[in-house]
Amino acid sequence: MPKLYTIHCPAVPEHRVDWTPIPAAYQALPLMAPGKPGKNPELARLLQRCPSCVVRFQFGR
């Protein structure tokens, strides 16, 4: 099952993205930050469209 993400951007409404599969090039990256609590900041940065974008990941159930 592909990993999913969504983007909420308070600054630019056009940047908002509904739940979408993470692009194939980034599917291998972990959702969680290695050795730290919270999401992987590198992956979030790659998916952001601007610095105001908030990226959320859907974790397996």
pLDDT digits (tens, 9 = 90+) for 30-54: 999 988 888 999 999 999 999 999 9
Question: What is the reported pTM?
Answer: 0.86
* pLDDT value at residue 59: 79
Please, what's the largest Cα pairwise distance for the chain?
34
H or E element that contains 4 = strand 4-8
Beta-bridged to residue 4, according to DSSP, are 21, 58
* pLDDT value at residue 61: 58
Q: Which amino acid is residue 1, in one-letter code?
A: M
Q: Which amino acid is residue 28, in one-letter code?
A: A
* pLDDT value at residue 58: 92
C-alpha span between 44 and 39 (Å, rounded): 8
Share of the chain above pLDDT 90, in %: 82
For residues 6-30, give the mean pLDDT.
96
